[in-house]
Amino acid sequence: MLKILRRIVRITGKYKTRIRLSYIPAFLKGIMLKAPLFLSFFVISLFMQGQMDAQKCLYFGIAIVASVILAAAFEHVSNVLQSATGYMVFADLRMKLGDHLRKLPMGYFTEGNIGKISSVLGTDMVFIEENCMGVLSELASFIIAQGLMTVSMFAMNTWLGLLSLAVVAAFMIVGNLMMKTSLKHSVIKQEGSESLTEEVLDFAEGIGIIKSYNLLGEKSKKLSDEFGKSCRESIAFEVAYGPWARALYLTFGIGTALMLALSGFLFARGMIPDTYMVGMALFLYDLFAAVKSYYSQMARLTVTSASLDRIEEVFDAEEMKDEGREMFAEADGKTAAIEYDGVSFGYTGKDVLKGVSFTVKPGEMTALVGPSGSGKSTIASLLARFWDVGSGQIRVNGKDIRKVPLGRLMDQISMVFQRVYLFQDTVYNNIAIGRPDATREEVEEAARKARCYDFIMQLPDGFDTVIGEGGASLSGGEKQRISIARCILKDAPIVILDEATASVDADNERAIQEAISELCRNKTLLVIAHRLKTIRDADQILVISDGKIVEKGDHENLISRQGVYARMVTLQAS
């Protein structure tokens, strides 16, 4: 239990002191909450001893009101310190996570971790933020309140004190067993929610394919199975947890009854005065209320433990090294040279690239061609450090790309992917991502060059139209051109182009080709080519097969060689 509390305090980082400070008002609130009870006890005692008068009664009344006001004030201060800190902690933690995710290799995202990331951001962090920070101060005030009650029992009579201590010990045994059960099932529930999130994301993302291949029944069944599993896990949690919650309730009832019986016995034996007997009747239902509430709140914290595990798991994923602090010789220049020097690489041990070496001169175009799965995309993605090379080196302007800051490398590269991703934001912002400090004129100019200005102006709000859910929907070709406008605006010296294989209509294809020509003007180009007719003018064509360069040269040269490339051209022409 303390372990969970310590883990929560640990994630509060630089706000730790604020959290610890908040215990002071929480303790004071704990005392103030019990003050009306003690004051009432004194009032009754004074009445029974015939020492009460109207003035004293008024003072006691004022003291009770003051203690209630103070309890509220202390609660407010402790909440401000703790809950507000919770929001600050998680704002920082989300930023830290964003930064961490940015530094993870692409492989992390393709290895089934998307569900985990979604759960961490959407469920775990929100749960801890909303539930746990406030709970810490609640727990502190429960501990002090229970302490006060037990001490006052000892003050009345040692036997009463010992029995109340024994009941608290029974609460601790039952409470801890309840938490163990809750913890075990929370982990199962959290894992279930993770795989459910993954299944829902998969279903939503693949809905087009699911419909077109008539898989709605099959996929819906898979999804319903996941919902069913999640439901069963929740029921199993309740079934296992319920008896312990009832046991806690019983301990409360039995403990209270035993305290009443003991005080009656002690009174009958003349071991406690009648005022104490009346006081017991007053305290009775409040005697163990704090420890009961404490364990009820702790159950919430067990869910937190499973959430913390997942948050830590994501943070533990190894980041790509970004320790290089050297700069490119021609940093931010308009052209750049690229050299692959004996590059080998494998995703999961097996080598996908085997000793790949080639040079792209500044301002020239190199095309990668070859059968599917030969390693073309892998070659290109290593340049952007989506993964790091296994052995060998990739140099840009003579500098090993691992020796420069990742951010600086990315400044040098624009990428046009086959699969375009536009954010659910305005057209303007989707283009401006390329260079956030660009002026409106520059964004519009980039849109013109990418041949998308005209269709953007026909959208309901022009550049301010929101794309995506609830906003304008665009055709594949239009989206592609917006993504090219983004790259034109970025104006990076290197362009990696994954040539689209999807067929678009002739108008769109012409517009896309014109947009690409604008983008590639005076740039160093690495093109993953699928249609060979588009790369005839390339300065260099690399034919990749099974992770190796098997032919290298320009179109004329490779045709005259009558090798793999020539056969591919003949095949595509037929």
Ligand X SMILES: Nc1ncnc2c1ncn2[C@@H]1O[C@H](COP(=O)(O)OP(=O)(O)OP(=O)(O)O)[C@@H](O)[C@H]1O
Site residues (vs ligand X, CB under 6 A): 107, 110, 347-348, 352, 370, 372-378
Instruction: Return the number of the residue (411 or 498) whose C-beta is nearest ligand X.
Output: 498
Instruction: Return the number of the residue (210 or 543) whose C-beta is nearest ligand X.
Output: 543
Q: How far is CA 215 from CA 197, 222, 562, in A?
A: 19, 11, 45
- How many helices and strands, by DSSP H and E, does the chain display? 21, 10
Instruction: Return the number of the residue (42 or 417) whose C-beta is nearest ligand X.
Output: 417
Instruction: Return the number of the residue (142 or 340) whose C-beta is nearest ligand X.
Output: 340
Which tokens sit at 410? 């990315």
CB of 566 to ligand X, least distance (A): 19
CB of 350 to ligand X, least distance (A): 8
- Contacts with 424 (C-beta within 8 Å, 6 or more apart), sequence order: 466, 467, 468, 469, 471
Instruction: Return the number of the residue (279 or 375) whose C-beta is nearest ligand X.
Output: 375
Q: By the 8 A CB rule, do 329 and 410 touch?
A: no
Counted residue by residue, the chain has a size of 574
CB of 500 to ligand X, least distance (A): 12
Which tokens sit at 377? 């995309």
Instruction: Return the number of the residue (242 or 371) whose C-beta is nearest ligand X.
Output: 371
DSSP H helices, 104-157, are: 106-110, 114-119, 125-127, 133-156
Instruction: Return the number of the residue (206 or 228) whose C-beta is nearest ligand X.
Output: 206
Give the 3-state secondary structure of residue 44: helix
Q: How far apart are CA 388 and CA 385, in angstroms?
A: 6
Instruction: Report the relative pairing of strands 524-528 and 365-369 from DSSP bridges.
Output: parallel
In this structure, the number of other CB atoms found within 10 A of the CB of residue 197 comes to 19
CB of 526 to ligand X, least distance (A): 12
In this structure, the number of other CB atoms found within 10 A of the CB of residue 485 comes to 30
Instruction: Return the number of the residue (3 or 350) whose C-beta is nearest ligand X.
Output: 350
CB of 178 to ligand X, least distance (A): 44
Q: How far is CA 533 from CA 121, 126, 463, 560, in A?
A: 46, 52, 34, 16
CB of 114 to ligand X, least distance (A): 13
CB of 407 to ligand X, least distance (A): 23
Give the 3-state secondary structure of residue 488: helix
CB of 352 to ligand X, least distance (A): 4
Q: How far apart are CA 470 and CA 211, in angstroms?
A: 21
CB of 533 to ligand X, least distance (A): 17
CA diameter of the chain: 120
Instruction: Return the number of the residue (144 or 352) whose C-beta is nearest ligand X.
Output: 352
CB of 380 to ligand X, least distance (A): 8
**Which residue pairs, CB below 8 angstroms and at least 24 apart, start in 177-182?**
177/244, 177/247, 178/241, 178/244, 178/245, 178/247, 178/248, 178/295, 178/299, 179/1, 179/295, 179/298, 179/299, 179/301, 179/302, 181/240, 181/241, 181/244, 182/237, 182/241, 182/244, 182/299, 182/302, 182/303
CB of 27 to ligand X, least distance (A): 54
CB of 523 to ligand X, least distance (A): 21
Q: What SS3 string covers 174-203?
A: HHHHHHHHHHHHHHHHHHHHHHHHHHHHHH
Instruction: Return the number of the residue (348 or 473) whose C-beta is nearest ligand X.
Output: 348
Give the 3-state secondary structure of residue 133: helix
